[in-house]
Structure 1
Amino acid sequence: MILNTPDEQDATGPVKDIYDADLNSLGYVPSHTKAMAINPEAYQAFQALIRATVANMNLRRYELVTLAAAQAIGSTHCRLAHGVKSLKVFSADQLAAIGRDYRSAGLEPAEVAMMEYAEKLSTDAAAMTDEDTLALRKHGFSDREIMDITLAATARNFLSRTLLALNVELDVPPSLDENLQEALLAPLQER
């Protein structure tokens, strides 16, 4: 990335707050955080959208939608970062299976439908019709849940596409073991 990102030791105000949050939760400040901190207000608005979406959605659903959207976009940044976050709700083996092929990972049919929706939204949103929404409704999702699934996927598109467009350096989270990293990136490398 050719844009200059704020250094950790020079960060003040909202940038320092953003960096401190990552230092507290991850132990380091990833390059994607540094890139987004160039416009801290926009990044904080993005984080507020995520909090508002996850508040109604459970973390498992949010991470599944995020992983599907990131895969569809081709975002290694988000597949790896959310691979680590997904370990809060999945075992490493289950997450590896989801990373390789969510359709055969033993997920509930509603979860697969939700991921397919996020994937289509991320690859060809203009081709989506009422049938895509009805498919979720047939799996028992309420209007609010459908909206939250949509917001989670579109939010991932926003962040992932921003990082890809700016050619932000890829961070491999230090806590992510090699086998899980391979499983999360395999579908992206097959493209």
Structure 2
Amino acid sequence: MSIIESPTDSPATQAIYERTRANQGFVPDYTRVMAVNPEAHDAWEALVQAIATPLGHRRWELVTLAAAAGIRSRHCRLAHGAKSLPILGADGLRAVARDYHQAGLSDAEVAMMDFAYRVSTDSSTMDDGDALVLREAGFSDREIVDIALAAAARNYYSRAIQALGVVVETPAVLDDDLRDALVDDL
């Protein structure tokens, strides 16, 4: 566990814990740590909704998996691997985790994931050509902005939980093979 201690007597923190338990069945260490600042936690949740809702669940998760790989975030690869499991299935998730270029995704999805990975590894050299690849893959300007925001948001959250020494937890729905596929190359 992180050295950060979350106040258990705070009504705002308890509300965050209750929502998390309802959605995930438990309160991960990263939620416990980030709930120390409930206003920032709630703002994060609102930001996620503002980006993920128009982007769509599948695209949000694919962008998140690519961005988390780029930033080498085991936390987010595992958490979002679990969230992607109902969308992709075990075989699909395993394929995406090992090499999304060979996972049977559409060309547009691969372009989107390439963009998100690059945001996490080399954003300072990105230019209009990177966004143009997405436009040529059929994405609207709004979708391009949302893809960039989703990848950048993942960087924000991942860096914060890494910096705070949050324990990496493997969600119970991921077997050892899926866990390894998601984090072996990080």
Deviation string 1:115-162 (CA, Å, 9 cap, x unpaired) is 010011111111110100101000010000001101111110010000
Name the counterpart of 1:47: 45
Q: Distance in 2 between matches of 1:15 and 1:80?
A: 24
Q: Distance in 2 between matches of 1:127 and 1:13?
A: 44
SS of 2:69's equivalent in the other structure is helix
CA positional deviation for 1:11: 3.9
Name the counterpart of 1:56: 54
Residue identity (%): 50
Give structure 2 stretches of 5+ with no counterpart: none
CA positional deviation for 1:12: 2.8
Deviation string 1:7-52 (CA, Å, 9 cap, x unpaired) is xxx3432211110011111111000001100111111111101101
Alignment of structure 1 residues 1-191 onto 2, 5 Å: 1-6=2-7, 10-188=8-186
Q: Distance in 1 between matches of 2:37 and 2:142?
A: 30
Q: Distance in 2 between matches of 1:46 and 1:140?
A: 29
Residue identity matched to 1:4: E
Q: TM-score, normalised by structure 1?
A: 0.94
Give structure 1 stretches of 5+ with no counterpart: none
CA positional deviation for 1:174: 1.6
Residue identity matched to 1:55: T
Relative distance call for 1:11 and 1:25 in structure 2 (3 A) is: farther
Q: TM-score, normalised by structure 2?
A: 0.96
SS of 1:141's equivalent in the other structure is coil
Contact 1:99 1:187 in 2 (8 A): no
Q: Distance in 1 between matches of 2:185 and 2:6?
A: 30
Contact 1:5 1:35 in 2 (8 A): yes
